[in-house]
Structures are given as C-alpha cells and as structure tokens.
Chains A and B, each alone.
Chain A
Amino acid sequence: MAEITFRQALQRGLREALDADPDVFLMGEDIGKYDGAYAVTQGLLDKYGADRIRDTPISEAAFVGAGVGAAVAGLRPVVELMSMSFSLVAADQIVNMAAKIRYMSGGQVKVPMVLRAPTGGGVQLAATHSQSFENWFASTPGLKVVTPSTPYDALGMLRSAIEDDNPVIFAENALLYGTRGEVPDDEYRVPIGVADVKRAGTDITLIGWAHGIVTLLDAAEKLSETGVSAEVVDLRTLRPLDMDTVVASVQRTGRALVLDENWRTAGLGAELAAEIGYRCSDIMDGPVARVGGADVPSPYSRPLEQLAIPQTQWVIDEIEKTYGL
C-alpha cells in the first residue's frame, strides 16, 4: 500500500497495460515528446517508443475516429484528448461512430477503446476550456462513461476500462490530478457501473461524482459538526448508472441531495433527482435537494468563476432549505 497521486495512479495503469498487452497503444496531442499537457504520459515515449506512444496532429476528429478504426480492427487504443472541451470537435466520431458502429453492424464489430480527457473548471481557463461533457456522453447508448474521484478508483477503473470491449469515456477532473490517496500494490479492479459509498451516514444521502465528491465529503464533515450524519455516494460511473446503490442509500436515510458541477439545467443531476423521486418519494421527508453549476459560460475572473462552481456552503444551505437540517 502506497500513497500516490491521481496522476501517478493513471500513469501506473497505462504502464501496466502497455507492458501486459502489445495491442494497447496511446494516441493524442503532445502525449509523447512534450510528455503530456497534464503530464499523465510523462516518460512513456522513451520507454515504449513512437509506434505505441503516438503524438497526433491537432485533428481531434481524425485521431479519435482513427482510434475507433483501430479498435474495430482489434487493437486497444487509449486515446487522450487534451481537454474534454475538445471532444466537441470529435463529437461525430464519438457519438455517431464509436457509440453506434456495433449496433449498426448488428454486433459484427466492437470498439475496445478508452477516450481519456481532463474535465472541469476552477483554474480560470474561461468558458471554452472549463467544461465537462460527461453529462452529454452519459445520455448516449453505446458509450460507457466513468468519472473517478480518487487515485484508488482512477487506477482500478482504468484497468477495467482498458480491458472493456466497449468505448469508455474516461473523464479526469483536472483538479484531482494532484490529490493523493492510498493505492494497494495488487492488481485490483474497480468495476465499471458500480457506485461506491465514500462515507457512511444515516440522515441524508449526498450523491455526486468526480470532483463533486471532494465538495460532498467536505460538506459531510461540516454537517457532522452540527450532528447531521451524511452518507456520500460516489457514482463513479455515469453510464451505466448504478441507481440501485443510490436508491438503497436514500431508502435508508430518507433524504437526498444531488450535486452536479455541470450546468444545472437538463443535466445528469436532473436525471438523478427525477429517478430518485420516482423510486423513493413515498419514503422521503421532502423533495430531492439539488445543487448544480450556474447556467452560465464559465467566466475567467476568479471571483466570478467561483460563483459558478458549486461550493461546500451551497450544499449545506440547500440541505437546510429543503429539509431544515
């Protein structure tokens, strides 16, 4: 057992896969000679060579789609987007090609590809570089979408994602890269599609994912000081969604708050709130409480940006407002 960063966990997963399977290779913008914009792929070019650590032109549609083609041919590409915001340039290849080619071929082909991308805001990159489209991709049949929040989950889910025979969107909130956590030495897996209770509690269930879990754990700690016992459920995977774990928790606590760091309107938070209400309203003490990001393009200026991103206090205030806790 060692304490490592989220970034180190990802790099370990990539190295293991490159060592174990000659069909695994990496593609992306400046992942090789530059060592990766977020340094996740640092040093890999020297060890594995340019055939397996492939620097691409700035052509997201071309290299994401090429990843699909290589995967259809039976290779296992791990493609990196420098930012999830750039996924829009490749959206046709993700939504129309990666997600649909198996169905449209009647199951003749499969797409064992991982598409990694840093997501999220909070570091003043302004409106086009502070987005997380995992919400959007999570509504697309044919894709899997994972959003780990800890180094343990990042490594365990990367192992599962690379071994998965389907296209997996691997969303890495950039604020998490430097966070640390215990990671065992053994080759454990974290299965895709299974949520995790990150903190046990009895009075209310707080549901979120990725960086939102940092906020929710902070809120739970503060709530405990006022005698409120909050359970934190980390979805970890947005598609397929593990509603059973969420519902089981809400049925124990009788209260729920959903945190979605993305735009509040029409996002996954809305889907979760609707489904929790549908399945649990008869035993709940009130409506599902919701906290979401402001419905604005992410601003550059620090004070404005912080107004757009859900903060711990928003969670505490929303619980007070909804349930009087």
Chain B
Amino acid sequence: MYLIRQFEEVCGEMYTRGQIRGFLHLYIGEEAIAVGAISQLQPHDYIVTHYRDHGHALARGVDPNRTMAELFGRIGGLSKGKGGSMHLFDAEKGVMGGHAIVGGQFPLAAGLALSHQYRKTDGICLVFFGDGSTNQGTYHEVMNLAAVWKLPMLFFLENNLYGMGSRFDRVRAGGEDFYPGAATYGIEHAVVVDGMDVLAVQEATRVAVDSIRAGEGPAFIEAKTFRFQGHSMADPVKYRDSGETAAWQARDPIVTFPRDLLAQELFSEGQLDDIRASVDAEVAAAVKFAEDSPFPPDEELFTDIYA
C-alpha cells in the first residue's frame, strides 16, 4: 500500500514538472482495495481494470521502473510509451489493461474469463470498475452474460462515490448500495466491504474467489472507498466539500493499517520506517529509470498495429 501511495505522490509531482503529460488519475486513498483483492489471485488469473490503474499494476507486482517509464512516455515503459497512464499492460502478469472508455473493460474481462472456462482451468478474471461505469450498458450486459454462462469472473466495484464530478446520488436513483443489484442478474455471491480496510478486502476476496473457483459462477464485491484527490490532475474538486474528504482521510489505510500493526506489536516503528525508506528508494529509482530511458524512436509509430 505504501508503495502505491508513494508512487502516486511522486507521479503527481512529476506531472506538475511536466514529465508526465496527458490525463493522470491518482489512486490515493483507494490502495487497500488493490492490495487486498489482488493478494488473493494466482499467477494464471487475469486482471482487467479502468484508467485509475497504477495501483492495480503495482499490487500485481508489475515493475515500478517500467510503469513509471510508461507514464513518462519512454521506450523502457511497459508498452514502449504507447499506452500511457490510463492503459497499463503487463501480459506476463495477466494485467490486461487499464481501459479508458468507462465500462469498456467489462466485455474484455468476460472474454478472458471465458477463455479459462473454455480451457477448463481454475483461472478467473478480476475486473475492477468504478461507480460511474455502472450506468453504462456494458455493466448490465456483462453481468447478465457472466451469470448465464457462469463465467469465472469477479466483479469488483471500487465505489468512491463520485463519477468524475458527479456524486452517485445525482446520477442514480437506486440507492447507495450497488451490490444488491447483482442478484437480479443471478449473481448470488454479492457482498459489500469496507474499502479502507485491507484485511477486510482480502478476506472478502478470498471467499469470493473460492466460490468462483469452485464453479459457482461470477461473484460481486462492492468496496466503499474515496479518492482523496481530484478525478485527475486537472480537477479542482469544486463539487464536494472538504469535510467529506477529511472524514475519509481520517480512515486513511496508509495511516490506520500501520497503527494497527504497531498496536498489535506485529511490527516495530523501526521496521515500518525501514519499509518506508526502502519503498521511497524504490520509487526514486523508478523515476531515475524513467528519466534515463529514451523516448521511443520514430519507427515505433508504425509497429504493434498488426501482429
């Protein structure tokens, strides 16, 4: 979690310095979800996510150096600088994108899940999405498809309450909880979890993944969470009051989880400091790696269009 937080803080800094351009959506505040959920996957499982995707990649063990180089648009990046922040891929690790059309990732995830079913493996596909995407047709289409075909697929809603500047209750009449809706598609395993509690996310995911691997069909987890910063770096956050943000920040997993570890005497302050120092160095090294990586040569413009 601290790696993601530090990586994102540094990304914000690199954006203001002009090293990272385009759109940059930071995962700050939501780290417990990626870490808790992805810890329960096997190497042959797939992950498909949205454009706020750095946290999922890092939680899956994707190289921070190549991730940062991708954000810098360099040849050393995961996709040689062709995808950028919103489109992180590491196929060897089963990370099949960051996808930047809201809701566009659901069908892809269904197909990846179908491949596991077709080949009769016990693999699954974990698809992350935000509350904003639940108003897209693909959300409903794929929930139905996954249920009717019993696809090994875990729908993971990161409900951070806002689709860009629109709070969920301004664009949805169905209430604050989304997970009960899964049952209407025949997805019986649907639960809600505190997205600020990494251990709770981990446990909810473990149970859901066990059910999917047992052949019970798709499952649905809704995690309540909050992004501490704007939708993207371009967002002045005029649509929500600071009190709401402060209330969620008081539950910041980067603060509360280490506090719990100390209270339970599982780690000492010195051990935690060592971890933080090591992560800070890792992120600094990622920036150095990205800075040292050249921009892609002109020939790269026309490669990777066709296989």
Contacts and interface: CB of A to CB of B under 8 A. Distances in A.
Interface of A: 25, 51, 54, 56-57, 59, 61-75, 77, 92-93, 96-97, 101-112, 141-142, 144, 165-166
Contacts of B142: 59, 62, 65-66
B107 A62 contact: yes
Nearest to B84: A104
A96 B104 contact: yes
B115 A92 contact: no
A63 B77 CA distance: 31
Interface of B: 46, 48, 77-83, 87, 89-92, 96-97, 99, 101, 104, 106-116, 118, 125, 137-138, 141-142, 144-145, 148-149, 303-307
6 nearest A-B residue pairs (beta carbon): A69-B111, A65-B107, A106-B79, A73-B115, A107-B304, A62-B141
A192 to B, nearest CB: 10
A106 B80 contact: yes
Nearest to A66: B111
B304 A69 contact: no
9 contacts: A57-B141, A61-B141, A69-B108, A93-B104, A97-B99, A105-B91, A106-B81, A108-B90, A144-B306
A91 B268 CA distance: 55
B90 A102 contact: no
A222 B81 CA distance: 56
Contacts of B108: 65-66, 68-69, 72, 93, 97, 101
Contacts of B101: 92, 96
A65 B141 CA distance: 11
Contact of B89 (A75, A92, A104, A165): A104
B114 A66 contact: yes
Given A61-B138, A109-B89, A25 B304 contact: no
Contacts of B305: 102-103, 141-142
Contacts of B141: 57, 59, 61-62
Given A68-B107, A72-B96, A104-B87, 9 more contacts: A25-B118, A62-B144, A69-B115, A70-B115, A72-B111, A93-B107, A103-B304, A106-B83, A109-B91
A5 B141 CA distance: 36
Nearest to B113: A69
Contacts of A64: 107
Contacts of A96: 101, 104
B153 to A, nearest CB: 10
Contacts of A104: 79, 82-83, 87, 89, 97
Nearest to B98: A104
A216 to B, nearest CB: 29
Given A61-B141, A68-B108, A165 B114 contact: no
A105 B145 contact: no
A69 B107 contact: yes
Nearest to B304: A107
B111 to A, nearest CB: 2
A140 B105 CA distance: 20
Given A69-B107, A106-B89, A108-B90, A74 B82 contact: no
B77 A65 contact: no
Nearest to A59: B141
Contacts of B125: 69
Contacts of A66: 107-108, 110-111, 114, 142, 145
